[in-house]
Structure 1
Amino acid sequence: MRAMAGAAPSEPRLRADARRNSEQIRSAAIGAFQGQGLTVPLEKVAQAAGVSKATIFNRFGGRIGLIDAVIEEVVARELFAVIEHTRSVGAVERIAYYLTAIRDLQYRQPAFNDVLLQTYPHSRQLMEICRVGSEANEEFIAAARASGALRPEFTAGDLHALVLDNALALKHGTRPPRDDYDRRTMYLLDGIRGRSAASGGR
């Protein structure tokens, strides 16, 4: 029997539409968050996805649910790769690689600064990233101090403060040219290096 004109779509069709909408929203959110940070208006995400803002709430429950759904692709995957690679670097060079990579990620990914600043503390995924990052800071600072690669008075708390200060400057200040930014990273590293790093490990 042919379907009556104007009949409601079938359940499989509705499920397919819902999946398509969800994937469109996810893709739009990843692009928007990577380019503009986690605070980008949801209207922009909806517009890029070709749906209404209400659809985002229907599918993800709002901004927090959307962040939890995509934060791995936006921030976590790259940050965790940095952490894992840092563990493979020699003890003397390790902290220099780590700090340079973190500052690079801060410059390129506005969403990473929102994570560091815990802009949305109700996001469980965001807070888990913060926990992993904090443990990595403690690990790398302890190893660098033990190897003499850092000034002995430099602590994980100092690194945390420097990273947060940078996050605030990038989020609320004027973004410097990349060359200037990288030059200041070198100044920062020169200021915290210990004797073994300054002498090339000799």
Structure 2
Amino acid sequence: MEPSPEEAGCDRARLRSDAERNRARIIEAARTVYRREGLSASMASIARAAGVGIATLFRRFPTASDLVAAVFEDAMEANRKAALAAREEPCAWDGFRAYVETVCALQADNRGFAEVLAMSFGTAKGMERARQEAFEAFTELVARAKAEGRLQPDFVGEDLPILLMANAGVLAVAGDAAPEASRRLVGQMIRGFAVGPAEALAPAPPPQRLLRGMVRQRRTAG
């Protein structure tokens, strides 16, 4: 007996709902696995963490880069908006500082984001556009901040990825104290980039808190 049009419509709606739940479950599992294992984590380990079969995962995300793009899409868009907003600041140095702080905070919330900024997303055109727009805005901002005499003349765009790599190291080992330690590091680096009076730094985490965080992070990783 053929299902009625109403029954068929309900079946299609249930399938769509199941597919969306699976997609959300996979993305959330991938976010957790990437935080723990890095972006080189296998698709099989992500499928296990999501509680879905590997075939289901590949139906939703045919390649690893498709999955990475889905996980980091919101962060990449936030990065784009931050770069465009920074470029519009009347004082380029203020925009430069705000953007560096924002991209490092995005990294703290989305482990692996520094790697994503350097990846190629052939099929995810939106990710490519967002990254390119952010890069172009940041390049303009750097030139303006140098022209103002507020940014060191030998600063180059590659200095930002170097800062992100250093920040990744802090985030990886500082445990519970990571947010405070990251803000302190970023403040120190911005000081190094600046020309002119030194700016106030965020307070460093107390030594005991930093040590406890590092110990707890090692135990978790082990």
**TM-score by shorter chain over 0.5:** yes
Equivalent residue number for residue 25 of structure 2: 28
8 Å contact kept, 1:65–1:123: yes
- Counterparts of 2:137 and 2:32 in 1: how far apart (Å)? 26
Change (3 A) 1:31 1:111: farther
Change (3 A) 1:22 1:166: farther
Change (3 A) 1:181 1:65: closer
**What 5-or-longer segments of structure 2 have no aligned partner?**
200-222
8 Å contact kept, 2:151–2:193: yes
Change (3 A) 1:29 1:134: farther
Equivalent residue number for residue 103 of structure 2: 102
Secondary structure of the 2:173 match is coil
Equivalent residue number for residue 56 of structure 1: 57
**What 5-or-longer segments of structure 1 have no aligned partner?**
4-9
8 Å contact kept, 2:87–2:95: yes
Give the number of equivalent residue pairs: 188
Secondary structure of the 1:156 match is coil
Equivalent residue number for residue 153 of structure 1: 154
132-141 or 91-100, larger mean C-alpha shift: 132-141
Question: What is the CA distance between 1:12 and its match in structure 2?
Answer: 4.9
- C-alpha distance after superposition, 1:94-122 (max 9, x if no partner): 1111111111111111141230242x655
Q: Kindly indicate whether residue 163 of structure 2 is the aligned counterpart of residue 162 of structure 1.
A: yes
Question: What is the CA distance between 1:49 and its match in structure 2?
Answer: 5.0
- Counterparts of 2:122 and 2:153 in 1: how far apart (Å)? 36
TM-score (norm 1): 0.72
Equivalent residue number for residue 82 of structure 2: 82
Equivalent residue number for residue 173 of structure 2: 174
Secondary structure of the 1:110 match is coil
Letter in 2 for 1:174: V
Change (3 A) 1:136 1:2: closer
- For the aligned residues, what is the CA RMSD? 3.3
Larger RCO (CA under 8 A, 6+ residues apart):
1
Q: Percent of aligned pairs with the same residue?
A: 24
- Counterparts of 1:53 and 1:2 in 2: how far apart (Å)? 32
Question: What is the CA distance between 1:141 and its match in structure 2?
Answer: 0.8
Change (3 A) 1:149 1:30: farther
8 Å contact kept, 2:155–2:193: yes
